[in-house]
Structure 1
Amino acid sequence: MATQYTDENPTNHFELTEQLIYSTFEKIIRIVTERRDQLLVQLFDIKQDYLNKENTRKKQVADLEKLIQQLMETSIQQNEVGKFQEEQMRQTRAEIQKYENETPIPFPSLNTEGLDSLLKQLEKLGSFQDIAVLYRNKTKPIRKIGGQSRKKGERYIPSGLALDGEKIYIADGDNTRILIFSTEGKFIHEFDLWELKYPHGIALNKERVFISDRILDTIYTFSKTNYELIKSVKGDVSFPLGLTTDTNGEVLVADSENNRIAVFSSDLYYIREIGKDKLIFPHDVKIYNNKIFVADSNKINNIHIFSKSGDLLKSIIKLETGVGEYIFLCCDLYNNIIISDYFRNSIKIFTKDGQLIHKIKCIYPRGIVVNNNFDIICASFDDCEINIY
């Protein structure tokens, strides 16, 4: 029976109201933030299309003006040659007129309420070229998170990573625990997972931590506040590797030996599957901007992009190896794809269309994440450290 509150107990009324207000505000903030990020990506694509068209126009004008200059500098010795050149110049000038106006801006007004502010934020993030240069400047870690735990002499073997604001969650596979550090390298907390054999993938939502155990074929969820086990599910997956959560509360798991992505509710009830006939031993899965990115062992292309409904949109990026269970991936704000290629000792950054931007040497990289400042955070199996580039 539900608890009855009376006027004699106003504190409970106040607490319930306060909880409702805070939870409503948090939900609104989360939705607005997600929508803002989606708009920024859309505006970036619009801006890039505009800049590409404008650059094409300017190049065409420059080429045509250069042609006119060449014709004017040519000595006209014969009348017929002169007439021919004159006609060429007339046609060229007519072509220039087609391009003399700037490319129309593809959105109605920079002064539209809200749009100007969004565009300014977009400018702060820089152009695609600036981001590519930023990635190419990454060659060595700017910071390392130490290779030892609080227990003297004990090294951890990092596997999956998850980022929660300024906190990094690390699945320590060999020591069956989760470590939490700040992005500055300060140790925050650790909690042991005696129920597990080998925690591999890790994902977070607002209230929970989700972990895959590839040895026990089990998915676990723990409380984010006290780290107590909430629920575990065994048997729906076989050799589960990477996993992720989405804004609808679903948990997606790379169910590698079943060649699919298994979808669960936040309470770990099995819902559906994705990519059953299209994937070969999937290693990792992530969701960005309502698209599902999957890394697997396919010998043609290793990265597959699905819609939220499960339709395969495209397959891109052929890695030099597709063997093993250690391909992790993540994406930045512009859907550039960052991959830790374990067997090629490298971190690779690709455009959303699969063009290689840059490659960073890293010995046996595993879990990988990128923050909104484009810092790449990657676990290294070789030195048992977390490298930040």
Structure 2
Amino acid sequence: MAEHYPIAPQVVDPIETHINYTIDGLIGLLNVRRVQLLELVRNTREEKRAAGIARDQMIAQLTEAQAHLQEDLRENPLQSMQKRIVQEMNDKLRDLRNNIPVVTQLKWQCDTRDLETSISRMGEIVQVPIGVPDYAAFQTSTVATGKQGSRPGELYGPSGVAIHEDSHRIFVANYYNHRVEIFSDTGEYLNQLGVGQLYKSHGIAIHRETVYVSCFGDSNVYQFTLTDMSLVRKIGGMGSNNGQFNCPSQLTTDPIGHVFIADTNNNRISVHDTDLNHIRNITHQSMSYPNDVKVSRDRVYVLCPYNNPCIHVLTIEGDKLHSLITKGQGMDVLRPWFFCLDPLKNFIISDYESHSIRVFSPEGNLLHTIGTEGHQRGMFYYPQGIAITPNGRLVCVSKNENCALQIYY
């Protein structure tokens, strides 16, 4: 129960209130970044002793920066506060970047961009989870690559998209080229997967160092290892029995590695373990031709683009909670094809017929529209797979002739 204090006969200084509010926000952001740095250093694959030294240096510098920041805020007048804070933090961030191990460099740069933006606003600090794209700033894509074609790095009918959590590499199911293309998160072509083994690759999901690919052409699901890009196993074949599929579409994994497969023409979600052994099916009378599926800690989200297009929200056990109607009832998406969720549980939907990307709140309210019809950068022609990298980059593919892969950040 909240405590109630008697009103004291004093005047609240608005400048002091503003300073305290800003200090609290900055300290909170610094603490968040310190925790993230500790986690990054723990996970680095560099030699343990070198990583430990780097971690201790970063913590010490952040602690020193925080102490200096608090001291400066107490001693300096308001009119010079913003300039001094920005200069102080820029110096510290520059020093930290120069000493961060290579494997953590990219994450730290993206995280600090959030911090620098927050500092510059001064007094308007809002903590947003790392990994939420700045949709309002996306006028055109930062990177546009992967033009239509069949040569390495080119895309012909790109479909599903998945992101490798640690390296941020982008994996694209290259449907008519019967393979998977691999790009960096800056659009550089890196490698291929499944050449000569896949037939009309459609959906893709990644869990740690394992890649799962579904194929329309043979109704199989394939498992590859990223260690040497080799095929581990395949399951399926046309049918409706457990472990069989009828045009499997997109697939996803949960935190422990269970694979959820949108078995489109069987009107179900087929759930498998990490070795693709069948566990159970999720079905519902209103689940009609599912094309995409996503899983959070306690929810399963199923996109059904045909008939009455909607996203069904289910419990992790498969019990239906509610549906978000995407066409004609609020969300106004003509043909939702693929979707993903950001850390705030916003829905990012590729609208196949309006040639655009649309962002909706968890309640189904339209927040942003990205792109128009066309083949140039910042435009889409039948957008397909969509994903968000851990550092907040929006990745989407479409049937564009000139830029089939676009990255926004």
Q: Return the TM-score normalized by structure 2.
A: 0.60
For residue 304 of structure 1, the aligned residue among 301, 312, 321 is 312
Are 1:221 and 2:231 an aligned pair? no
CA contact (8 A) 1:167 1:180 kept: yes
Partner amino acid, structure 1, of 2:200: Y
Equivalent residue for 1:198, pick from 186, 197, 200: 200
- Equivalent residue, structure 1, for 2:354: 344
- Cα distance in 1 for partners of 2:163, 2:390 equals 11
TM-superposed CA distance for 1:152, in Å, is: 7.8
Determine if contact 1:363/1:381 at 8 Å carries over to the other structure: yes
SS where residue 353 of structure 2 aligns? helix
Question: Is 2:326–2:334's contact at 8 Å kept on the other side of the alignment?
Answer: no
Relative to 1, partners in 2 of residues 1:147 and 1:201: Cα closer, same or farther, differing over 3 Å? same
Matched, 1:257 2:275: no
Gaps of 5+ in 2: 1-23, 37-113, 119-125, 372-379
Partner letter of residue 243 of structure 1? Answer: L
- Is the Cα–Cα contact under 8 Å of residues 148 and 400 in structure 2 kept in the other structure? no
Residues 1:367 and 1:290: Cα distance change in structure 2 (over 3 Å):
same
Query: Is the Cα contact below 8 Å between 2:171 and 2:180 reproduced in 1?
Result: yes
Q: Hey, what does 1:36 align to over in structure 2?
A: none
C-alpha distance in 1 between matches for 2:177 and 2:212: 17
CA offsets 1:225-251 (integer angstroms, 9 cap, x no match): 112111111241111100001122210
Deviation per CA, 1:205-263: give whole Å up to 9, x if none. 11211000112111111111112111111241111100001122210000111111111
Return the letter of the residue paired with 2:405.
I
Query: CA–CA distance in 1 between the matches of 2:283 and 2:139?
Result: 35
Cross-structure match for 1:180:
182
Aligned residue in 2 for 1:140? 140
Count of residues paired in the alignment: 276
Per chain length, whose mean CA-contact separation is higher, i.e. which structure has more relative contact order (CA < 8 Å, sep 6+)? 2
SS at match of 1:162: strand
**1:145 Cα deviation after fit:** 2.4
TM-score (norm 1): 0.63
Note if contact 2:158-2:399 (Cα within 8 Å) is conserved in structure 1. Answer: yes
- Identify if the C-alpha distance between structure 1 residues 263 and 227 changes in structure 2 by more than 3 Å, giving closer, same or farther: same
Task: Mark the CA change 1:146 to 1:155 in structure 2 (over 3 Å): closer, same or farther.
Answer: closer
Pick the structure with greater CA Rg: 1
Residues 232, 152 of structure 1: alpha-carbon distance in 2 compared, 3 angstrom cutoff? closer
8 Å Cα contact 1:301/1:315 also seen in 2: no
CA drift of 1:197 comes to 1.6
After TM superposition, the structure 1 = structure 2 runs for residues 275-294 of structure 1, keeping only pairs within 5 Å, are: 275-294=283-302
Shift of 1:116: 9.3
CA distance 1:150–1:342, shift in 2 (3 Å): closer
SS of 1:344's equivalent? coil
Q: Structure 1 pair 215/288, CA: closer, same or farther in 2 (3 Å)?
A: same
Gaps of at least 5 residues in structure 1 are 1-109
- CA change 1:344–1:189 in 2 (3 A) is same
The structural deviation recorded for 1:159 is: 1.1
Matched, 1:335 2:330: no
Partners of 1:153 and 1:170 lie apart in 2 by 10
| Residues 302, 322 of structure 1: 8 Å contact kept | no
CA distance in 2, matches of 1:132, 1:217: 34
Alpha-carbon distance in structure 2 between the residues aligned to 1:228 and 1:192: 8
- Structure 1 stretches of 4+ moved >6 Å: 119-123, 321-324
Which of 342, 357, 370 is equivalent to 1:360? Answer: 370
> Is 1:370 aligned to 2:388, yes or no?
yes
For residues 198 and 162 of structure 1, the distance between their equivalents in structure 2, rounded to whole angstroms, comes to 17
Q: How much has 1:318 moved relative to structure 2?
A: 1.4
Once the two structures are TM-superposed, the CA of residue 338 in structure 1 deviates from its matched residue by 0.3
Task: Give identity over the alignment, percent.
Answer: 33
Change (3 A) 1:154 1:314: closer
Instruction: Give the 5 Å matches for 1:99-138.
Output: 117-118=31-32, 126=126, 134-138=134-138
After superposition, the Cα gap between the structure-2 partners of 1:337 and 1:322, relative to the gap in structure 1 and judged at 3 Å, is: closer
Find 1:315's aligned residue among 306, 323, 326. Answer: 323
Cα distance, 1:118–1:240 mapped onto 2, change above 3 Å: same
Deviations 1:107-154 (A, max 9, x none): xxx9xxx999459989959457xx999312323111112316793896
Aligned partners of 1:239 and 1:373: how far apart in 2? 33
Counterpart CA distance in 2 for 1:146 and 1:253 is 27
Q: Higher mean Cα deviation, 225-234 or 366-375? A: 366-375
Take 1:385 and 1:116, find their aligned partners in 2: how far apart are those partners?
38
- Alpha carbons of 1:350 and 1:322: their partners in 2 closer, same or farther (altered >3 Å)? closer
Moved more, 267-276 or 352-361: 267-276
Deviation at 1:297, TM superposition (A): 2.9
Counterpart of 2:134 in 1: which secondary structure? helix
1:385 aligns to what? 404
Judge conservation of contact 1:365–1:380 (CA < 8 Å) in 2.
yes
Shift of 1:305: 1.3
Distance 1:354 1:206, change over 3 A: same
Q: Is the 8 A contact 1:297 1:322 kept in 2?
A: no
